[in-house]
Structure 1
Amino acid sequence: MPQTKNWILLRGLARGVGHWGSFVDKMKERFPEDNFELIDLPGNGARNDETSPTNISDYVKDLRSRSEFVKKGEPFKVLSVSLGAMVTVEWMREYPHEIKKAYLVCTSSSGYSPFYQRFLLVNYVKSMNLLGAKNNEALWEKTILGMVTNSHERREAEILPLMAYTKEHPMSIENMLRQIFAASRYRFPEEAPGDIQLLGSYGDRLVSPKCTLRIAEKWGLKPTMHPWAGHDIPIDDPRWLVEHLL
């Protein structure tokens, strides 16, 4: 019988637990004996009425207070994307014995990569559409998915439930800016703070794939790189990601 594992899944900038799309179901199919916690970052998803911290360490404090695995003293793994991956790194740095292994997807670090690689310049113009999309979940999702996914087929398969989730849990521009500020100044430690697998994609059009490669170089790790997916690998190629969580 396979050993049961605990998982915490963390989304990134301006994304809630409902933005995993069908990925969570595929992960549960692959690991049917495992336990899962999907926790929103403050300001995201069902917590959209809360104020997002501007310090990554404050996200760690918040999430630890909400995790049943932490409360029970049970070990767990973390799968996290982008900003969520930064929170995971800080969590491992502050509490090195809690996270057994972390899978960090398409993330970056201040001081490791220049700002124009951490958020590719073409996306600044596209992001302006979000300023007028507060009450237009279709425009909001189409704009974001256009920046973070490369597969038209996968976008079409996921967009309707994502739009419904966004309509129910709209993200404030203020919180998005606060999260961007927190991410922009967070710097990873000089050495990997634990057992980490870096996953990136050569097709990432939001954050340069050079960011994942740079972290891997600094930490002496071998990254796993998807050949074509966008920044949101869980949406673009969920089966590929699931098979790399072994």
Structure 2
Amino acid sequence: MATSRNWLLLRGLARGVGHWGSFSEKIQQHFPNDKFEFLDLPGNGIRHEETSPIKISEYVKDLRARCSYVQKGESFQVLSVSLGAMITVEWMKEYPHEISKATLVCTSSGGFSPFYRRFIAGNIPKGLKLIGREKDETFWEKTVLGMITNSHERREEEIGAMIEYTKRYPMNPQNVIRQMFAASRYRFPDSAPGDVRLLGSHGDRLVSPTCTLKIAEKWGVRAEMHPWAGHDVPIDDPQWLLEHLL
């Protein structure tokens, strides 16, 4: 009988558990013997009325208090995207015996990459259009998905559920700013904090793909790069991501 593994999944900037879309079911089907926990960052998803911290270490503190594996003293591995990956790195650095492995998707680090690569300037006008439109869930999701995905077919498959999720748990723009501030200040350690796999995409239009490659160079690890997906690889090509998990 296969050994059961514990997984924690963390999304990134302004995205809640529901924004994993159909990937949340696909990963559980792909690893039927494993256990999964999906947690929202403070300010996102079911926690949308809370205030997001402005320090990555505060996200670690918050999520550790909510993680069932931590409560039980069980080790686990993490799949995390973007801001979620930054939180994972800090978690591994602060509590090296808790996270056994981590897959970090489309993330970046201050000090490794300049700000204009960590957030591609062409997205600023699109982001500004979201201000004051958080109650127009259809506009919000179409705009966001247009920035972070490249597959029109996959967007159409997922957008209906995404809109309904955002209606239930709307994002506070002030929390978006606070999360961006936390991410902008965070610096990765000079060496990998543990057993990590880096995944990125050459088609990422939100964060330059060079950010993943720079982390790989600094840490001396290999980065696996998707040929065309956007920043949200779990939505654009869930099968590719599943095949590249540790």
Give the TM-score range, shorter chain: over 0.9
Equivalent residue, structure 2, for 1:178: 178
Give the letter for the 1:8 counterpart: L
The corresponding residue for 2:19 is 19
1:3 corresponds to = 3
Residue 44 (1) aligns with residue 44 (2): yes
Q: CA deviation at 1:2?
A: 1.3
Alpha-carbon offset, residue 89 of structure 1 = 0.2
Identity of aligned residues (%): 67
Deviations 1:138-192 (A, max 9, x none): 0000010000000000000000000000010000000000000000010000000
SS of the equivalent of 1:217 reads: helix
Shift of 1:133: 1.5
Partners of 1:129 and 1:228 lie apart in 2 by 26
How far apart, CA to CA, are the structure 2 residues paired with 1:153 and 1:129?
24
For residues 115 and 142 of structure 1, what CA distance do their matches in structure 2 show?
Answer: 25
Give, as a single letter, the amino acid of the residue that structure 2 aligns with 1:206. L
| Alpha-carbon distance in 1 for matches of 2:26, 2:243 | 10
**What are the residue-to-residue correspondences of 1:63-82 with 2, within 5 Å?**
63-82=63-82
CA distance in 1, matches of 2:101, 2:170: 32
Give the letter for the 2:178 counterpart: R
Residue 187 of structure 2 corresponds to residue 152 of structure 1: no
Q: Please, which runs of 5 or more residues in structure 2 have no aligned partner?
A: none
- Structure 2 CA distance for aligned equivalents of residues 189 and 125 of structure 1: 32
1:201-241 Cα offsets, whole Å, 9 max, x none, are 00000000000000000000000110000000000000110
The aligned residue for residue 234 of structure 1 is 234
State the secondary structure of the residue aligned to 2:43: coil
Deviation at 1:40, TM superposition (A): 0.2
Q: CA RMSD in A?
A: 0.5
**CA separation in 1, counterparts of 2:24 and 2:42?**
20
Matched residue type, 1:117: R
| Structure 1 runs of 4+ with >6 Å offset | none
Give, in whole Å, the separation in 1 of the partners of 2:2 and 2:198.
Answer: 24
- Partners of 1:215 and 1:25 in 2: CA distance: 30
Aligned equivalents of 1:29, 1:2: Cα separation in 2: 14
Q: CA deviation at 1:70?
A: 0.3
Question: What is the rounded CA distance, in whole Å, between the counterparts of 1:100 and 1:166 in structure 2?
Answer: 33
Partner residue in 2 for 1:217? 217
CA distance in 2, matches of 1:185, 1:198: 21
Q: Matches of 1:158 and 1:185 in 2, distance apart?
A: 32
In structure 2, what is the Cα distance between the partners aligned to 1:75 and 1:3?
A: 13
* Cα distance in structure 2, aligned partners of 1:135 and 1:72: 39
TM-fit CA distance, 1:52: 0.1
Is 1:102 equivalent to 2:102 in the alignment? yes
Structure 2 CA distance for aligned equivalents of residues 243 and 190 of structure 1: 28
For residues 95 and 28 of structure 2, the distance between their equivalents in structure 1, rounded to whole angstroms, comes to 27
Q: 2:170 is matched by which residue type in structure 1?
A: P
Residues of 1 paired with 2:63 and 2:18: CA distance? 17
